[in-house]
């Protein structure tokens, strides 16, 4: 039984860069599986690329001001 646990931990550690790249891609509006498989080829480089790419999600691109706050930050 300990061999299965050790195997699961090792598999999790080996797949962690790929999973991290996939979740980071999904969060920034890109395809999970594409970046998951790209990360097998270039694991560390793909993470740096994803960090510096522009976010494709329009709702997370910036902060939304409250209705009572103007563009200059003054209360209406």
Tens digits of residue pLDDT in 1-58:
788 999 999 988 888 999 999 999 999 889 999 999 999 999 889 988 988 988 887 6
Distance between CA atoms of 38 and 26, rounded to whole angstroms? 14
pLDDT for residue 73: 54
Q: How many angstroms separate the Cα of 71 from the Cα of each of 12, 68, 74, 75? A: 46, 10, 7, 9
pLDDT for residue 55: 84
- Domain enclosing residue 20, as ranges: 2-52
**DSSP state at residue 5:** H
**Assigned domain for 32 exists:** yes
Q: Are the C-beta atoms of 56 and 31 separated by less than 8 Å? A: no
Domain count, the chain: 1
pLDDT for residue 63: 63
**Assigned domain for 14 exists:** yes
**Assigned domain for 9 exists:** yes
Q: Which residue has the tokens 């970046």?
A: 35
**Assigned domain for 76 exists:** no
């Amino acid at each position: 039984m300990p061999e299965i646990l050790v195997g699961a931990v090792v598999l999790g550690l080996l797949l962690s860069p790929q999973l991290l790249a996939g979740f980071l891609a999904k969060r920034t509006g890109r395809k999970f599986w594409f970046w998951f498989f790209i990360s097998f080829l270039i694991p560390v480089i793909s993470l740096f690329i994803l960090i510096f790419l522009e976010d494709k999600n329009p709702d997370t691109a910036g902060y939304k001001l409250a209705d009572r706050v103007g563009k200059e930050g003054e209360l209406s």
